[in-house]
């Protein structure tokens, strides 16, 4: 099989795949006759081939997939006008803390937020496939340690946690993972977080709300998510000190 034929096979498999396609499965396409270096070279060629189109080939946490480019979002939304699911502020704050401070326990999250974390919030994030318990802290009660999942990265169009936008210290709030000096701060001049993240955010139809989720996630993390004002009737308005 020559290079053009191999690229055609690979392109077809990626387009037809329902989930991101990992390298090991791509090698199965060629009965292990194509090595990793050749495979990566073919992927690089496909990335360049699709550059002028409305769809791009990207590497995610669990593999490679084709997805629409950010500038196509406004048009694709007309085919799917229904609004994506909304998450409460408490849920997004919890996710932001896990993303930027993992692994963390519920106690850690409560210390940062200043309010208790209700069970349904953690369960909702687990059922969504965005966080999971990866172990237990050696402390009284052995509380579970939570971290984000590969599904979280895939849904937000990221290949690794290193691609989460770097946060720098805010003037009046503690930030989870400050960036080093010289790195651009998402807080500078209150820039548009969504625009800043656009190159990293998946916008295919299945995860079209990724940009909004990640924008809110970073916005909350950048403010430190510390002791927010919780309105009465919210899903976890009990101060942690009273728990």
Q: Write down the mean pLDDT value for the chain.
A: 74
pLDDT score of 33 more than 70: yes
Tell me the range of 10-14, 87-91, 205-209 where mean pLDDT is highest: 10-14
Last residue of a domain, one of 76, 105, 135: 76
pLDDT for residue 113: 84
Q: Which of 29, 52, 76 is the last residue of a domain?
A: 76
Q: What is the mean pLDDT of residues 106-117?
A: 88
Residue range(s) defining the domain that contains residue 36: 3-76
> Do both 146 and 219 map to the same domain?
yes
63 and 9 within one domain: yes
Q: How far apart are CA 234 and CA 202, in angstroms?
A: 30
DSSP state letters, 37-87: HHHHHHHHHHHHHTTTSSEEEEE-SS-EEEEE-GGGHHHHTTT--SPPPP-
Together in a domain, 205 and 122: yes
Considering the domain architecture, whether residues 137 and 227 belong to the same structural domain is answered as: yes
- Report pLDDT digits (tens) over 43-57: 999 999 999 999 999
Whether residue 142 is found in the same domain as residue 233: yes
> Is 157 part of a structural domain of the chain?
yes
Do 56 and 129 sit in the same domain of this protein? no
Q: In whole angstroms, what is the distance from residue 15 CA to residue 65 CA?
A: 7
Residue 23 is assigned to a structural domain of this protein: yes
Whether 192 has a pLDDT exceeding 60, the answer reads no
User: Same domain, yes or no, for 128 and 223?
Assistant: yes
pLDDT of residue 163: 81
| Whether 114 and 223 share a structural domain | yes
Check whether 10 has a pLDDT greater than 60. yes
Across the range 176-185, mean pLDDT stands at 32
How many domains would you assign to the chain?
2
Who wins on pLDDT, 122 or 174?
122
- DSSP H or E run through 131: strand 131-136
Q: In CATH, what number is assigned to the domain containing residue 124?
A: 1.10.10.10
Alpha helices per DSSP H over 102-230: 106-113, 119-127, 150-155, 193-197, 210-222
Same domain for 119 and 10? Answer: no
| Residue 196: pLDDT band with limits 50, 70, 90 | very low
Among 37-46, 102-111, 124-133, 213-222, the minimum mean pLDDT is found in 213-222
Pick the most confident of 97-101, 182-186, 209-213.
Answer: 97-101
pLDDT at 185 over 60: no
pLDDT range class, residue 238, cuts 50, 70, 90 = very low
Q: Note whether 205 and 68 are within 8 A (CB).
A: yes
Q: Determine the Cα–Cα distance for residues 21 and 10; give it in Å rounded to an integer.
A: 10
Q: Is the pLDDT of residue 93 over 60?
A: yes
Residues 226 and 143 reside in one and the same domain? yes
Say whether pLDDT at 133 is over 60: yes
pLDDT of 3 above 70: yes
Average the pLDDT over 108-120 and give the result: 87
Domain co-membership, 53 together with 130? no
């Amino acid at each position: 099989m020559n290079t053009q034929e191999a690229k055609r096979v690979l392109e077809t498999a990626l387009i037809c795949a329902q989930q991101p396609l990992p390298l090991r499965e791509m090698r199965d396409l060629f009965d292990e006759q194509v090595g990793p270096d050749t495979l990566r070279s073919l992927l690089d060629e496909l990335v360049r081939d699709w550059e002028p189109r409305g769809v791009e080939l990207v590497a995610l946490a669990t593999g490679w997939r084709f997805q629409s480019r950010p500038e196509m979002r406004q048009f694709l939304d007309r085919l799917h006008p229904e609004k994506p699911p909304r998450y409460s502020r408490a849920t997004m704050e919890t996710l932001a803390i896990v993303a930027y401070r993992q692994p963390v326990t519920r106690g850690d999250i409560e210390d940062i937020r200043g309010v208790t974390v209700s069970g349904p919030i953690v369960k909702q994030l687990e059922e969504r496939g965005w966080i999971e318990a990866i172990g237990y802290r050696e402390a009284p009660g052995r509380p579970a340690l939570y971290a984000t999942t590969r599904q979280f990265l895939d849904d937000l169009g990221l290949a690794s946690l290193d691609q989460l936008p770097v946060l720098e210290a805010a003037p009046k709030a503690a930030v989870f993972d400050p960036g080093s000096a010289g790195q651009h701060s998402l807080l500078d001049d209150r820039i548009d977080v969504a625009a800043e993240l656009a190159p990293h955010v998946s916008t295919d139809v299945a995860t079209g709300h990724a940009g909004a989720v990640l924008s809110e996630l970073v916005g909350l993390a950048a403010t430190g998510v510390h002791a927010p004002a919780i309105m009465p009737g919210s899903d976890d308005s009990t101060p942690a000190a009273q728990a």
